[in-house]
Amino acid sequence: MARLNEQLRDNLQYLYDLWAATGWAFNYVPNGDFIGWQAGTSSAPDAWTLVGTDAAVAREGSIIKLGVYSAKLTNGASNAAYLSQTLPAEWVKQQRNKTVSIGCWVRAGAANRARIRVYDGTNYGDSAYHTGNSTWQWLTATLTVGASATALTVYCDLVAGAAISVYYQGFVLAPVEAGAAFVQGPNDIFPRLAWRQDTTPANFRLGGGLLMQCGQHPSGTANVVITFPVAFSQTPFLVIVVSNWRSLRTPEAVSATGFTSYQASGASTGGYWIAIGVE
């Protein structure tokens, strides 16, 4: 895994260049895709804080709109609950007198209970409430940041009432001037590889049509055929195989559905692989 992270660092500038070339805007909400749960799957997701009497949050892998996980937020009976995070003060100062926009996929089974919010310390920008029909709805809100604002906080908000569960996924924030095409910044993607080391291949939608897939490489002296969990729409532009010794295996015959891990020596070795391309 250390070798994989080393090679990812070597390729990081290339990925930044790809993002810059597309002209997409970055999502300024860390872990807005709710992939990171380093404190545990029933604790607040990375970068978020859970607030509310008897409130609970859980990582949800089945009820999802896109990507891998949603955040399942449950309020205590007759109480409100929310997930929140406050953005860096220096960035907020640059947004003074500018309009920011937030958006998130939300799913709720009760009307007028679930929404998203953004707050600059004085004023709120609130989305419409979910209609409560148990479907995914894209909720949005805007706020003109105050002239003296020093903080900007975003919320996945569940207002007080009977105890229910609401699902949130894909929370994004960007200056309105940047347009509506949001992607998660690459600096918020790769550190997760340090703790995701399971044997089952996985896929992560990076946003903007990009897909990352990774898995554990089996050991063996013969060439190994790797099948991607999800087929890319075209041949991925980056495939890396990391084994116990440098250059023992190389990716060959790469296609949209997989590749062959070529064994360059007679030694038996396993390791990890990663592929990035267009979903």
The CATH number assigned to the domain holding 120 equals 2.60.120.260
192 and 167 within one domain: no
Res 190: pLDDT: 36
154 and 29 in contact (C-beta within 8 Å)? yes
Res 21: pLDDT: 47
Q: Measured in whole angstroms, how far is the alpha carbon of residue 255 from the centre of its chain?
A: 25
191 and 170 within one domain: no
Res 167: pLDDT: 98
**Domain-embedded: residue 205:** yes
Q: DSSP secondary-structure letter at 257?
A: S
Strand intervals (E) in the chain: 25-27, 49-51, 56-60, 70-74, 81-87, 99-107, 114-119, 124-126, 136-144, 152-158, 165-175, 182-184, 202-207, 210-217, 224-227, 238-243, 249-252, 258-263, 271-278
Q: Residue ranges of the chain with pLDDT lower than 70?
A: 1-26, 176-200, 205-208, 244-247, 265-267
Euclidean distance between the first and the last CA atom of the chain, given in angstroms as a whole number: 24
**Domain-embedded: residue 69:** yes
The CATH number assigned to the domain holding 255 equals 2.60.40.3940
Pick from 120, 154, 180: which residue ends a domain?
180
**Domain-embedded: residue 19:** no
Question: How many structural domains compose the chain?
Answer: 2
Res 200: pLDDT: 63
38 and 159 within one domain: yes
Pick from 125, 153, 180: which residue ends a domain?
180
Q: How far is CA 39 from CA 48, 63, 185, in A?
A: 11, 21, 22
216 and 138 within one domain: no
> What SS3 class is residue 9?
helix
Res 246: pLDDT: 56
164 and 194 within one domain: no
195 and 85 within one domain: no
**Domain-embedded: residue 20:** no
Host domain of residue 54: 25-180
62 and 171 within one domain: yes
Res 206: pLDDT: 66
Res 2: pLDDT: 57
| Alpha-carbon torsion (265, 269, 271, 277), positive or negative | positive
